[in-house]
Structure 1
């Protein structure tokens, strides 16, 4: 047995106390050099089949209230990017294209508009925020967020009924009209409207995308940047593909499913689990972007992760959706699968749905032909999670196609509100 004298114990206690004081002193010095976290008012919302962080412009730190590196750095840190693990564990992102999103809303500087809406698609594994396009799904949440956040004149919000929120989509310079249900003076979020790709029903928010193919100055413009409804797109290593390249809602490249070895009934795993398939789609997207005039060389495609979208279409056939629901051929007019941020989308991007509805309304496009051809003002299409209906009003005058508006319905609700914390 080891014996220790009381004097030895006392000496050791004193020594330990000195050690603790020294450690505390060092810790105190270290603590003083640590930057605290900052708190930013924020709301986490679902809109359609997407979700993201919503901010009022005035709530952002001053340096982030203007576009630039400071804003991008802040939002990347909020979402948890770049993350080489691909999980965004240390942030609010969900590690998919549908959940790595940010929205900034402010009172509008535009006449006859209530709010300005800016959307950012945050890359998961790269330090990059893509501001080149809109998110049609999150557009459904902008009106509700604006009303609740005090950005809409209370006189324009009925106690019961439907509030009309006029939104200026700042990324692409377009107007969106949101029809937001209001009950007892508050935005109604619950209801019986069902949206394939969203598990629970909610309140319907109808969206009108005005002049979806117009230029920012409203002059109309290159709905079909190549001037053709269908092009021969030469893709080295893949071949020459028939393609409809349209700028409506978001620039989108449509090809026939059969031409690239698919049926149009594929679910996510069939594409996202195949690296060669993903590389093939990215190659097609890059060459299509050059033909559309979005980039000058295919090497520049990395600077446009959000746009253009690439999708493949097929005639109706039965398939089983990702939730096990059977979709019969008579339920839909055509099948569409679309990729976003390099992966097959679990349902359908809202902006791509606008492109689908617009292209379907224009006789002779690949989308229109897959739907059976002819004139139509609405289309039902099958996607991996089920089906969706979208409408568009297209007219042909003097050999030029124009679209006055595209219409679709979504639901939206607040998931969490308060403050998000970011290390300063």
Structure 2
């Protein structure tokens, strides 16, 4: 099962601590752990993660932990250094934590937090093979590339970033929409991300199909996603998250589509509840002028299409990175719902420029001669926010 449920009834009154780091990755934030520092029991880990984030919280605030009541800030990352495949520096396991419910979900990958993996591994001196080949790895200045496997999807990702003074360099030379302030610029390359969870780029074998009464495209690249036209649901293409959150009828329809898509993609059986984070669902529209959350206006000529993602039943305030990568891939598939919304002339050559509530993001998705995804490249930023210890009550779950 992808989701574990931990009993959080008070048993121990003495707190234990675990080393941890807190990073922003892209437009997400998460707590990062090194595997050897974690308890061996899966139930104990679940309890630790829930307490660290502050879940479950029926108030939806996660005030008793480090979450913030939204899915993009309710995340855990585990970095491993054992049993590594050839040419891989570390492993990366993503866990999405519930907000109102005690969910510990291993089902999908978080692309935004993937931008933090390389800098975390470098800052914590975990690049053992690279250090052996280059003893001056942590003393030189320049670029470092970290190769890692996301264990949730078995996808190889490479992160390239600059280092200085023995740590990932933080500056204001690179910026992304939805984030203010400095960070470490990271170029992420997702290698062969097609079929990340289902084994197929088109899990149902169809480019488009009708689910819950709507034409959709189900695509699996970096994470499984289902796309539906905003106009078919009567939704304004540039709707902002707060308004979409208030539209309970539309969100209920989207959840119905998502559930049917999960069955069609082979992720669940009929009658089962789909995982929190997959398949992701998005409203897609042709480009037009959009006003972002900051009040900035993106003109239609700056964008190739517009997307609005729902993540964990909440409208995303930017765009989940794996969903963005999947969108760019779907845009390259002739006849897909996304492809039919794509501008005839790209705003930036070789890149698909996607408008989202916080601005825009550009993705280079390369397809091979067989129509499979060769790679998907995107620029993100990350920043180390703190290193220290997370405290929790260890109830000794076996």
TM-score in same-fold range (> 0.5): yes
Deviation at 1:73, TM superposition (A): 1.7
Whether the aligned pair in 2 keeps the contact of 1:263 and 1:314 (CA below 8 Å) is no
- Which of 198, 204, 207 is the equivalent residue of 1:226? 204
Deviation at 1:148, TM superposition (A): 1.0
Query: CA separation in 1, counterparts of 2:29 and 2:391?
Result: 18
Deviation at 1:297, TM superposition (A): 1.4
Q: Report what 2:155 is aligned to.
A: 174
Query: CA separation in 1, counterparts of 2:337 and 2:158?
Result: 28
Q: Does 1:416 align with 2:386?
A: yes
Deviation at 1:278, TM superposition (A): 2.0
Q: Give the 3 Å change call, closer, same or farther, for CA 34–59 of structure 1 in structure 2.
A: closer
Whether the aligned pair in 1 keeps the contact of 2:170 and 2:182 (CA below 8 Å) is no
Q: Please give the residue correspondences for 1:63-212 in structure 2 after superposition, counting only pairs within 5 Å.
A: 63=41, 68-109=42-83, 110-153=85-128, 154=131, 155=133, 157=137, 159-212=140-193
Q: Report what 1:260 is aligned to.
A: 233
Whether the aligned pair in 2 keeps the contact of 1:368 and 1:374 (CA below 8 Å) is no
Query: CA separation in 1, counterparts of 2:276 and 2:268?
Result: 12
Cα shift readout 1:331-367 (whole Å, capped 9, x = no counterpart): 1011011110001100000100110111112222211
Q: Report what 2:5 is aligned to.
A: none
User: What SS does the aligned partner of 2:318 have?
Assistant: coil
Q: Please give the residue correspondences for 1:18-417 in structure 2 after superposition, counting only pairs within 5 Å.
A: 35-63=13-41, 68-109=42-83, 110-153=85-128, 154=131, 155=133, 157=137, 159-214=140-195, 221-233=199-211, 235=212, 240-301=213-274, 304-372=275-343, 377-397=350-370, 401-417=371-387
Whether the aligned pair in 1 keeps the contact of 2:24 and 2:116 (CA below 8 Å) is yes
Whether the aligned pair in 2 keeps the contact of 1:363 and 1:373 (CA below 8 Å) is no
Q: How many residues align?
A: 375
> TM-score, normalized by length of structure 1?
0.85
Whether the aligned pair in 2 keeps the contact of 1:361 and 1:378 (CA below 8 Å) is no
Whether the aligned pair in 2 keeps the contact of 1:377 and 1:394 (CA below 8 Å) is no
Whether the aligned pair in 1 keeps the contact of 2:208 and 2:216 (CA below 8 Å) is yes
Query: CA separation in 1, counterparts of 2:28 and 2:271?
Result: 29
Deviation at 1:326, TM superposition (A): 0.7
**Structure 2 spans left out of the alignment, 5+ residues:** 1-10
Tell me: higher relative CO, structure 1 or 2? Use CA pairs within 8 A at least 6 residues apart.
Answer: 2
Rg larger for:
1
Query: CA separation in 2, counterparts of 1:129 and 1:34?
Result: 21
More deviation, 158-167/326-335 = 158-167
Deviation at 1:204, TM superposition (A): 1.3
Cα shift readout 1:181-236 (whole Å, capped 9, x = no counterpart): 112332112232110111224331000000001468xxx94110111111122x1x
Whether the aligned pair in 2 keeps the contact of 1:363 and 1:374 (CA below 8 Å) is no
Whether the aligned pair in 2 keeps the contact of 1:206 and 1:407 (CA below 8 Å) is yes
Deviation at 1:108, TM superposition (A): 4.5
Q: Which of the two has greater helix per residue?
A: 1
> TM-score, normalized by length of structure 2?
0.90
Q: Give the 3 Å change call, closer, same or farther, for CA 175–263 of structure 1 in structure 2.
A: same
Q: Report what 1:3 is aligned to.
A: none
CA RMSD, Structure 1 to Structure 2 (Å): 1.8
Whether the aligned pair in 2 keeps the contact of 1:83 and 1:125 (CA below 8 Å) is yes
**Structure 1 spans left out of the alignment, 5+ residues:** 1-32
Query: CA separation in 1, counterparts of 2:93 and 2:46?
Result: 13
